[in-house]
């Protein structure tokens, strides 16, 4: 029999918790990846860059595996159907995989686990994509934190060298199944096209030292762009956290902790994927003006900092964090458009899209989340620009026509008016 290792959002051979345990199971390990039709069918763009990224990574993994006389089994189907096929065609002792905390993934894994159990096959899952998960960092009474700062304090208190140690998978590659190269379905087979997007590399160390001073200025390359690699597990969180922990300034490490905080929140409060964390915020009467939403998406709001951000997103699949906060505040508060519309648009466009962080970021901006900006804190696009893009370098990069201010389109909404309207709408919803 074989042990199957099911790759999902942990697409690397080195320092991979579940793979390590599979390799030590005593049975040869068959690596598996499923292009899950259920997820792919939801994607709106045929040239979705994330699909191309995953595809490239799977091809590269396969080449690595060939060096060890092995190969990855790649199936394009709904996960449950794929498992029917795999169970029929292989003699499986156990299945190994890493935790995935998103609501869809949790349900899928329960269904697969039950199916495997009917064939007496074990389903063993491991923590891999975070340093601390689920209930590992809680309040003293065992309840989940819903405020970041005490969570962070507890996170540091719980940290021991063991948690940052790499799993030495490479020692056990001899335990991979020996097989000829297995075919990978093409992007066309899956009804996708190759994206022309540029993917960021995995460098991150050069930003850590100056991160605290540089991270808020979108015209500077002050952040790592490592989000995509964290999303798909092409880097190990243990390696990142260990490196970051070695720096005296912990600002960058704290951002990695924010990521875990939001994953913990999504795990405990799965309703937040499409409902306000604080239910009273679901009572807000949004304006939901479709034309204004379109202008926001296209970067044509007449607010140059908002437009620059949206154009960066549309052109590259990335947007600087400071600008994400500005455009999200603008959509939910100035335009009074449901934050879920914005969350959805980000989900479609961001290379580093991560449901937990995206929902967390949007609900923070809309005021409805854990630890959120209070509803009366409404970003003023102009003062944000003065503070964070004082020389208008970022704006001019993405909105070149801004150079001739007289020709720049008028704002689609007046900020002072929008501010009052927002305060009113939020007050009505919250005092009910
Ligand atoms: P760096 O600044 O170099 O930080 C390193 C890593 O830390 C990031 O890659 C990310 O994994 C993590 N991180 C940094 N800031 C945050 C944060 N505030 N919350 C959670 N994790 C953080 N981040 C995503 O990874 N995916 C999303 O879909 C996402 N959507 C967002 C939506 C909104 C409205 C807002 C305000 C923020 C969102 N963020 C999201 C958080 C943050 O903007 C990005 O993580 C960051 O800009 C990514 O750039 P970087 O890789 O250069 O990050």
Summarize pLDDT for 260-271 with one digit per residue, the tens: 999 999 999 999
The domain boundary, picked from 247, 268, 289, lies at 268
Q: Are residues 66 and 159 in the same domain?
A: no
Asked whether residue 4 falls in the same domain as residue 133, the answer is no
35-86 tens-digit pLDDT = 999 999 999 999 999 999 999 999 999 999 999 999 999 999 999 999 999 9
324-338: per-residue pLDDT in tens?
Answer: 999 999 999 999 999
* 148 and 293, same domain (yes or no): no
Active-site residue 258, yes or no? yes
Same-domain check for residues 143 and 279: no
Q: What is the pLDDT of residues 161-204, one digit of tens each?
A: 999 999 999 999 999 999 999 999 999 999 999 999 999 999 99
| Co-location of 42 and 99 in the same domain | yes
Tokens (6 digits) for 337? 């458009």
Provide the pLDDT for residue 16.
Answer: 98
How far CA 270 is from CA of 170, 265, 266, in Å, comes to 36, 8, 5
In a domain, 200, yes or no: no
In the chain, what percentage of residues exceed pLDDT 70? Answer: 100
Kindly state whether residues 294 and 256 are assigned to the same domain: no
- Whether residues 246 and 296 fall in one domain: no
**Four-point Cα dihedral 256, 220, 369, 132, nearest 10:** 0
Domain boundary among 214, 236, 268: 268
Q: What distance in angstroms lies between residue 357's CA and the mean position of ligand 1's atoms? A: 7
In tens, the pLDDT along 201-228 reads 999 999 999 999 999 999 999 999 999 9
| pLDDT number for residue 372 | 74
The best mutation among 227, 266, 331 to test binding of ligand 1, ranked by most ligand atoms within 8 Å of the C-beta, falls on: 227
Residues within a 6 A CB radius of ligand 1: 207, 215, 223-227, 230, 255-256, 258-259, 262, 321, 324-325, 328, 346, 350, 352-354, 357-358, 361-362, 365
Question: Is 198 contained in some domain?
Answer: no
Whether residues 381 and 296 fall in one domain: yes
Task: Report the CATH number at residue 232.
Answer: 1.25.40.80
Q: Are residues 308 and 241 in the same domain?
A: no
| Residue 355 Cα: closest atom of ligand 1 | 28
Say yes or no to pLDDT of 432 above 70: no
| ipTM, two decimals | 0.99
Q: Is the pLDDT assigned to residue 230 strictly greater than 80? A: yes
* Centroid of ligand 1 to alpha carbon of 155 (angstroms): 19
The total domain count for the chain is 3
> Per DSSP, what are the bridge partners of residue 341?
none
* Residues 281 and 421 placed together within one structural domain of the fold: yes
Same domain, 116 and 51: yes
Calpha distance 102→133 (Å, rounded): 12
Whole-Å CA distances, 225 to 136, 200, 214, 215, 278: 28, 6, 14, 11, 31
* 320 and 362 in a common domain: yes
Domain of 389, in residue numbers: 273-431
Q: What is the CATH number of the domain that holds 49?
A: 3.40.50.620
The domain spanning residue 417 has which CATH number?
A: 1.10.579.10
């Amino acid at each position: 029999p074989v042990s199957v290792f099911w790759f999902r959002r942990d697409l690397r051979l080195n320092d991979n918790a579940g793979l390590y345990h599979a390799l030590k199971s005593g049975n040869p390990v068959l690596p598996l990846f499923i292009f899950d039709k259920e997820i792919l069918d939801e994607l709106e763009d045929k040239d979705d860059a994330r699909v191309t990224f995953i595809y490239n990574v799977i091809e590269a993994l396969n080449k690595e595996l060939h060096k060890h006389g092995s190969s990855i089994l790649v199936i394009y189907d709904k996960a449950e159907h794929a498992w029917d096929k795999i169970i029929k065609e292989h003699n499986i002792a156990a299945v190994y995989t890493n935790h995935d905390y998103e609501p869809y993934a949790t349900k899928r894994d329960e269904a697969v686990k039950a199916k495997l159990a009917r064939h007496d096959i074990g389903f063993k899952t491991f923590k891999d994509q975070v340093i601390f998960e689920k209930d590992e960092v809680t309040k003293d009474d065992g309840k989940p934190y819903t405020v970041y700062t005490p969570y962070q304090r507890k996170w540091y208190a719980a940290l021991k060298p063991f948690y940052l140690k790499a799993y030495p998978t490479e020692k056990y590659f001899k335990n991979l199944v020996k097989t000829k190269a297995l075919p990978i379905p093409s992007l066309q087979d899956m009804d996708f096209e190759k994206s022309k997007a540029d993917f960021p590399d995995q460098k991150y160390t050069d930003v850590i030292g100056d991160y605290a001073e540089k991270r808020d200025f979108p015209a500077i390359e002050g952040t790592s762009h490592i989000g995509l690699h964290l999303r798909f597990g092409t880097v190990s969180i243990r390696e990142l956290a260990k490196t970051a922990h070695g720096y005296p300034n912990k600002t960058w490490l704290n951002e990695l902790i924010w990521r875990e905080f939001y994953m913990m929140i999504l795990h405990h409060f799965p309703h937040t994927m499409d409902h306000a964390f604080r239910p009273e915020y679901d009572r807000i009467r949004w304006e939901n003006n479709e034309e204004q939403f379109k202008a926001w998406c296209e970067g044509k709001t007449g607010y140059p900092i908002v437009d620059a951000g949206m154009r960066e997103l549309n052109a590259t699949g990335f947007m600087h964090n400071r600008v994400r906060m500005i455009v999200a505040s603008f959509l939910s508060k100035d335009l009074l458009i449901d934050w879920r519309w914005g969350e959805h648009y980000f989900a479609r466009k961001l290379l580093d899209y991560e449901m937990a962080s995206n929902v967390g970021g949007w609900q923070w901006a809309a005021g409805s989340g854990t630890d959120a900006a209070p509803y009366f804190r409404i970003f003023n696009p102009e003062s944000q620009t003065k503070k964070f893009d004082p020389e208008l370098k970022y704006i001019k990069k993405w909105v070149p026509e801004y150079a001739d201010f007289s020709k720049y389109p008028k704002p689609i909404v007046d900020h002072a008016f929008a501010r009052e309207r927002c305060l009113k709408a939020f007050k009505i919803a919250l005092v009910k």
